[in-house]
Amino acid sequence: MRKVRAHLIIEGIVQGVFFRANTKDTAFSHNVNGWVRNTRDGKVEAMLEGDEEAVKKVIKWCRQGPSGAMVDSVDIKWLDYTGEFTGFNITR
């Protein structure tokens, strides 16, 4: 399976709705590593690494988010896989 890295910027009603915690749980369940954080301008930013299909499943989930979220857009930048992460963290 091909390994990939994706940087996401998620816009909409995505803060205060447990988006980060649910992203972490979703990433963990698909064996995807990286991090997720809130941005000062009300968005959520994430870096995902793992098998291509698993990363795509997490991205698909991010397009909807948890109940209470209203995702307007997900900007995705595909980057070279680095393997630098050993788990998935919520950062600040």
Active-site residue flag, 33? no
- Coil/strand/helix, residue 71: strand
**Annotated catalytic residue: which of 2, 31, 33, 38?**
38
**Annotated catalytic residue: which of 5, 20, 22, 33?**
20
57, amino acid identity:
K
Q: Which two three-digit tokens encode residue 87?
A: 């788990």
What residue has token string 């996401």?
A: 8
Active-site residue flag, 20? yes
Cα distance between residue 27 and residue 57, in whole Å: 9
Q: Which two three-digit tokens encode residue 9?
A: 């910027």
Active site residues: 20, 38
